[in-house]
Amino acid sequence: MLVDFNTLPEESRVWIYQANRSFSENELEEIQAKLNTFIENWAAHGSDLQAGYTIKYKRFIVLGLNQDLNKATGCSIDASVNFIQQLEKEYDVDLMDKMNVSYKQGEYIAYKSLTDFRKMAKDKAVSKKTIVFNNLVNNVAEFKENWEVPASESWHGRFIK
């Protein structure tokens, strides 16, 4: 059952998929339609899942699931991963690689491999104040408070002296 992401309870689980490039306006429209259809039909052992999504900065797909109603199961999580993998193929984009880092450079969102980010930190090209995206947050409350933070407040901080 599709609901507005902003109406999900704070403890709702989130999954964040970061694209290696921005989506075009046409791609965003198509992806939103596909997300609407997927979530409307998303179920766990035959029970509807109350879920929503948001797309941030034309490159982050955030799925949210109200687990107070029904919890995600292995099969339902597999279904969402398969759906994301289909988007990857269809739009020739990487959404599953967790070994990459996105951060802000002014209004621009930069995307680097973890190795490149470490090197940039060593070379002082990024600092503790650099705004990073912590895609390891677990729920809506953490997403709102701790997703877009200075590197010093995220796991990224361990690379910056």
Q: Write out pLDDT tens, residues 5-40.
A: 999 999 999 999 999 999 999 999 999 999 999 999
3-state secondary structure of 54: strand
Amino acid in the structure at residue 6:
N
Question: Which whole number is the average pLDDT over 128-145?
Answer: 95
Four-CA torsion 100, 104, 108, 113, nearest 10 degrees: -20
Q: Which residue in 147, 101, 128, 119 sits closest to 5, CA to CA?
A: 147
Q: Which two tokens stand for residue 2?
A: 């599709």
Give the residue extent of every domain in the chain. 5-91, 100-159
Mean pLDDT of the chain: 93
Say if CB 12 and CB 64 are below 8 A apart: yes
Pairing relationship of beta strands 60-65 and 51-56 according to DSSP bridges: antiparallel
**Range list of H helices, 42-124:** 74-91, 114-122
**Nearest Cα residue to 13 out of 53, 40, 58, 48:** 53
